[in-house]
Chain A
Amino acid sequence: MIGLLAAATEASINWHTVIFYVTALVACGFAVLVATTNNIVRMAFALIVCLAAASGLLFLAGAYFVGAMQLMIYVGGTVVLLIFGVMLTAQKAFITMQTKGGDWILGLLVGGTLLAILVQLAFLVPQWQSSDYQAKADMNLATYVDKLEQQLTEGQEITQPQRDELARLEILATDGMPQRTGEIGLALVGVRADQGTRPDEKGLAGYLLPFEIVSIHLLVVLVGAAFLARAKRHHAGGATR
């Protein structure tokens, strides 16, 4: 904490970065807890916290709608389903099941190797290591303001389109990521609001067909799940099970 305050006096702290590190640390820490604990109930709790922190990361990347869906469907739906599964099967012998030592060694060996390779790959591209979004937006705004001031000293009026451009650049530099809920909704019914409107333009196709496919898929899956998990009535009176 003291180091943090000292750094704040030296150079301005980027709070986006700080919040990212805190959230990423929570997500990774509870993911490790999910992988290491043997108690299935604790695993379910750690998974909830880990997924909620991951949705925080999605918010930080500007994907507000995806983050909200992660909270509602994943944390509020899928994990609750898993917890019901835990409750239905949680008999004494199955709450904690010890993993064999050999499995741990093999798993950690494979996982550690994979992690080392993937993290090295992630930091391989120099352009990806740091974002210049804010710096670029600030610079664009500053240069445009300079240009307008020069125009004023030359005695020319500022026109309305230039005012609009100035407002746009100011929004880019001060506001966060754009809110894209409407665009996502339109893309699901096959209209791309974020791309050009010419029909011959490449990539205009929306997501109507995948949306329909996923709808049918969900329906089939729910019917199948209900069929698989239903109580067996013809076995109900049987003595064998």
Chain B
Amino acid sequence: MSFLCEPIGLSHYLAVGAFLFVTGIVCMATKRNALGILMGIELVLNGAILNFVGFASPYFRDENLGLDGHMIALFVIVLAAAEAAVALAIALNFYNNHATIDVDRANELKG
């Protein structure tokens, strides 16, 4: 239990970010539901945010990104919201036209 007495470092944040990133990649690769793929994208973006905030924290490094890391994380959050809105609109349009949400049956999207 000695690791509970040590202060954590930047590596721990990078590891959690990497884990969220990889689960998001696996989610995107294996899901057949288009909305499941969107959720995988959210996980990937969250891993990126964790990395940026970890590098920005004065707790971990003296030469940190500072405010820049926080700003980039905020922009990532906003862009994720925008991306989710558009992707959801496309998915709903696809559902209306093809009566399915299965991306394996979307191989004939020709406009």
**Measured between alpha carbons, how far is A84 from B11 in the docked complex, in Å?**
36
Residues in A whose Cβ lies below 8 Å from that of B4 = 4, 7, 13-14, 17-18, 21
Total count of chain A residues near the partner, CB < 8 A? 102
CA A188 to CA B72, docked complex, whole Å = 11
Chain B residues contacting A192 (CB-CB under 8 Å) are 67
Q: Does the CB pair A63–B88 fall under 8 Å?
A: no
Do A86 and B15 touch across chains, with their CB atoms under 8 A apart?
Answer: no
Q: Which residues of A contact B86 (CB under 8 A)?
A: 221, 224-225, 228
B106 beta carbon closer than 8 Å to chain A: no
Which A residues are in CB contact (< 8 Å) with B38?
A: 82, 85
> Is A118's beta carbon under 8 Å from chain B?
yes
Q: Which of chain B's residues 71-110 have a Cβ closer than 8 Å to chain A? A: 71, 73-75, 77-86, 88-93, 95-97, 100-102
Q: Which residues of B contact A129 (CB under 8 A)?
A: 9, 11
Do B2 and A7 touch (CB < 8 A)? yes
Q: How large is the interface on B (under 10, 10 to 19, 20 to 34, 35 or more residues)?
A: 35 or more
A58 is contacted by which of B5, B50, B89, B92 (Cβ under 8 Å)? Answer: B50
A88→B93 CA distance, assembly (Å) = 11
Q: Are A130 and B8 touching (Cβ within 8 A)? A: yes
Instruction: Report whether B33 and A94 are in contact in the complex, using a CB–CB cutoff of 8 Å.
Output: yes
Of all chain A residues, the one with the shortest Cβ separation from B71 is A207
A103:B30 contact, CB within 8 angstroms: yes
B75 to chain A, nearest CB (A): 6
- Smallest beta-carbon distance A195→chain B, Å: 8
How far apart are B70's CB and chain A's nearest CB, in angstroms? 5
- Give every chain B residue within 8 A of A12 (Cβ-Cβ): 5
Binary CB contact string for chain A from 116 to 131 against chain B (1 if under 8 A, 0 otherwise): 0011011101011111
CB contacts under 8 Å to A, within B31-65, are 31-33, 35-36, 38-40, 42-43, 46, 49-50, 53-54, 56-61
Q: Residue of B at shortest CB range from A183?
A: B67
Closest residue of chain B to A132 (Cβ to Cβ) is B7
Q: Is the CB of A58 within 8 A of B49?
A: yes
In the bound complex, CA of A63 to CA of B14 (Å):
15
Task: Please determine whether B6 and A14 come into contact, CB atoms closer than 8 angstroms.
Answer: yes
CB distance from A110 to the nearest CB of B (A): 7
What's the minimum C-beta distance from B73 to chain A, rounded to whole angstroms?
5
Confirm or deny: A79 has a beta carbon within 8 angstroms of a beta carbon on chain B: yes
Assess the B14–A128 pair: CB atoms within 8 A.
yes
A196 within 8 Å of B (CB atoms): no
Determine the chain B residues whose CB is within 8 A of the CB of A61 once the complex forms. Answer: 13, 53-54, 56-57, 59-60
* Contact (Cβ within 8 A) B58 A130: no
Chain A nearest CB, measured from B20 CB (Å): 5
Check: A35 CB closer than 8 A to any chain B CB: yes
The 12 listed contacts between A and B (C-beta, < 8 Å) are: A14-B4, A16-B8, A17-B3, A58-B53, A62-B59, A74-B81, A78-B80, A89-B92, A97-B32, A115-B22, A131-B9, A135-B7
Nearest first, the 5 A-B pairs at minimum CB distance are: A122-B14, A118-B18, A228-B89, A7-B1, A229-B89
